[in-house]
Amino acid sequence: MLNQNDERPSADSLSRRSFLEAGSVALAAAALGGASLSAQQPSATSPNASGSNPGQENLPLLKENPSSNTPPRTDRGDIGPIWYSFDLNHKRLENGGWTHQVTQRELPPSRDLAGVNMRLTAGSFRELHWHTADEWAYMIYGSARVTVLNPDGTIQIEDVSKGDLWFFPAGFPHSIQGLASDGCEFLLVFDEGFFSEENTFSISEWVAHTPPEILEKNFRLSSSELSKLPTRELFIFPAALPQSLEHDRQSAGGPSAVSPIQYIFRAGSMPPTKSSPQGEVRIVDSRNFPASKSVAAGIVTLKPGGLRELHWHPTAAEWQFYIAGSGRMTVIAPGGRARTMDFNANDVGFVPTAAGHYIENTGSSDLIFLEMFKLDQFLEFSLNNWIRRLPPEMVSAHLNLDASSISRIPAEKLAIL
């Protein structure tokens, strides 16, 4: 799970917890001067002794998750898993690309959304197929040509690149093909927690399992022609690069066959919904991307030290995907429960419905991540905004802050601080 720029610790390097313990012992020795060695060691009831681990440790994992293994004092109780990583899961490697997924099987609280990370080399196809779930996608790298067919026979054929989105409704047949020079990589998000890429309706499997005489009647082709059909699922496979976009559109029927619905959204070129010197947020939902009726998303960039302010989403759980950088999130749930975890590129985060949380950039480069919800509109409450919309006397009674302190809390929803 290490990022490419991280160095693996040597076998005799100290874990963060061991380092903290050693540092505390050194400070104690300096303070006590000539005290004996036994007096310098932490007592059995001290915090350092409570957190120490004299046995085996997975040092790379400790390095990736310091806030879980040495949690802040504000953490308490158990709210269930809020972290997983695509790099922990099996990768299906095909001739032409690969895919792996994080679903409710890996992240049990995530009942609404599941994610698939996929790579296609130049020319390679994710074959013609459809799903029982809506498909929302974010282009991470490179470029691809996508197609999607409407029930009325109209079709959209489009080239997409880094930062672009698409939304394909459940049951609508579609395809994805990597373009020059290095194909593409993208994230797919489905509005079913137990979705699986293994349960896709594929054109290759359909024809492979239909009696030949039925195919002859349906396609009006001879048996010799049909003998060339695939006999198993193609899934991901290499092919020649396509001709021009205009050529493909004309081959599909020209202007009369063009879809009246836009299933592509150029999120990378839209202005930020919220921005500050510390970062920016782009909100994409059915209000500016009408086709996306079941997935709403925030595309967030946090500068080093930037904070996604304390907030909550009232009606849906949040499924996150981390694209770049490193950060930390604390989730606060009823009953005084709180959990803090660290996140890096290719990790998935989860926030239960209506749970308070924040995300902080803890690294030296931009933290970029996606927030996704099974909703048609992005909904959010800001803790600062709530506090400032109340009479100051009411806030003082609850938080013991005087009027001067309350007045310095930001009054508007800033998203990023």
Binding annotation for Mn(2+): 129, 131, 135, 174, 311, 313, 318, 357
For residues 49 and 164, what is the distance between their CA atoms, to the nearest angstrom?
51
For residues 98 and 93, what is the distance between their CA atoms, to the nearest angstrom?
4
Spatial CB neighbours of 129, under 8 Å, sequence gap ≥ 6: 173, 174, 175, 200, 201, 202, 203
Binding residues: 129, 131, 135, 174, 311, 313, 318, 357
In 3D space, the residue among 264, 289, 269 whose CA is nearest the CA of residue 168 turns out to be 264
Asked if 383 contacts 309 with a C-beta cutoff of 8 angstroms, the reply is yes
Active site residue 371: yes
Pick the catalytic residue from 106, 371, 393, 412.
371
For residues 82 and 48, what is the distance between their CA atoms, to the nearest angstrom?
26
Using alpha carbons only, give the angle 413, 392, 76 rounded to the nearest 5 degrees. Answer: 65
φ, ψ of residue 50 to 5 degrees: the values are: -65, -35
Distance of CA 392 to the CA centre of its chain: 38
For residues 397 and 391, what is the distance between their CA atoms, to the nearest angstrom?
10
The residues carrying an active-site annotation are: 371
